[in-house]
Amino acid sequence: MSLDPDAEDVLLAMRTLMPRPYHEVGIDEARRLSGSRQRRPGPPVNDVSDRVIPGPHGGIPIRVYRPGGERALPMLVWLHGGGWALGSVDNSDLTSRMIANEAGCVVVSVDYRLAPEHKFPVPFEDCLEAVRWVAGHGEEIGGDPTRLAVGGESAGANLAAAVALVDRERGELPISLQVLVYPATEYAVERPSWRRNSAGPVMTSRDVVWFWDLYLRDEADRSDPRATPSSATAFDRLPPAFVLTAEHDPLCDDGEAYARRLSAAGVDVRKKRYDGVFHGFFGMPGVLAKATEAVNDVVVALREVFDPAPVNASTPVGD
């Protein structure tokens, strides 16, 4: 299937800004270009505050979005994308605001440390500690610690899935849903979407490997489930998951294979592939129609687990 017309327009603008792939421009230029992109301002939220929480490697900046004056709202911990090496809470500000308002939940966006200055497991440990902090201190930010979801985009989805895996053994966190937006769960497995979208658009297969190698310390990390969740030996007893993928993305089959692993282990999984769009589309609601649809689907999925009601936002695995 071809790209959607609005995705073609966005892609043309992005190619003007960044005519060469990430792995060719290098980390410093990739960060500069990523930071220079204009982003749509998000809708106003009742209260948005930045704070720093303690972590194993020092303070962890977070941004808290609280949509109303009520207390004990459900909470979503959100982990931004960027290949573990790019991005910040600013990258997900628009979607965080939309989700907070529409789902009626406190969104806690985490500014975890980035590779290659901080390789695995540091970004993961920042995120795990942030989720633990939210579970233990939710009342301080107007949240209900018994209604907690975790999610992220790309590398952030990888981190969210890893947090859920680690907590399965410890049972400390009441995670009711994993929201995994085109998650990177395996190291460079050459599935059909990997080959079909090897040259992009937006992100190439070589870019994926480049980001992985910035994040991981050595070959042994490739089989550590905290780094590559698909390498876990078991997937049972994990929280329900909503897995979103993009058709024109090297990681499309990666995310869908992970959804099948979860489903085969008895986990309640919904998946949805968004045709006509590329890796990174989720952060473009209001510009891409599929992005607006995807954010709305996440809102519905969150509402279902926070205040159970029937939803039709996604397709059950296997359909």
Asked whether 79 and 112 are in contact (CB, 8 A), the reply is yes
DSSP letter at 86 equals: S
Cα–Cα distance measured from residue 291 to residue 190, given in angstroms and rounded to the nearest whole number: 26
Give 88's contacts (C-beta < 8 A, 6+ positions apart): 80, 82, 111
Tell me the two tokens of residue 158.
């990888």
* pTM of the predicted structure, to 2 decimals: 0.95
Delineate the domains of the chain, giving CATH numbers in brackets: 5-316 (3.40.50.1820)
Give 274's contacts (C-beta < 8 A, 6+ positions apart): 244, 245, 246, 247, 281, 290, 293, 294
Cα–Cα distance measured from residue 272 to residue 61, given in angstroms and rounded to the nearest whole number: 31
Beta strands (DSSP E) in 132-174 are: 143-153
pLDDT at 38: 64
Cα–Cα distance measured from residue 38 to residue 217, given in angstroms and rounded to the nearest whole number: 33
pLDDT at 69: 78
Catalytically active residues, by annotation: 154, 249, 279
In 3D space, the residue among 99, 117, 115 whose CA is nearest the CA of residue 107 turns out to be 99
Asked whether 177 and 232 are in contact (CB, 8 A), the reply is no
pLDDT at 35: 78
- H or E stretch at 269: strand 269-278
Asked whether 102 and 285 are in contact (CB, 8 A), the reply is no
* pLDDT, tens only, 264-319: 999 999 999 999 999 999 999 999 999 999 999 999 999 999 986 444 444 444 43
Residue type, position 288, single letter: L
- H or E stretch at 78: strand 73-79
Asked whether 57 and 26 are in contact (CB, 8 A), the reply is no
Beta strands (DSSP E) in 123-268 are: 143-153, 175-181, 241-248
Cα–Cα distance measured from residue 277 to residue 218, given in angstroms and rounded to the nearest whole number: 33
Q: Is 148 helix (H, G, I), strand (E, B) or coil?
A: strand
Q: Is 147 helix (H, G, I), strand (E, B) or coil?
A: strand
* pLDDT, tens only, 155-181: 999 999 999 999 998 888 999 999 999
Spans of the chain, pLDDT less than 50:
309-319
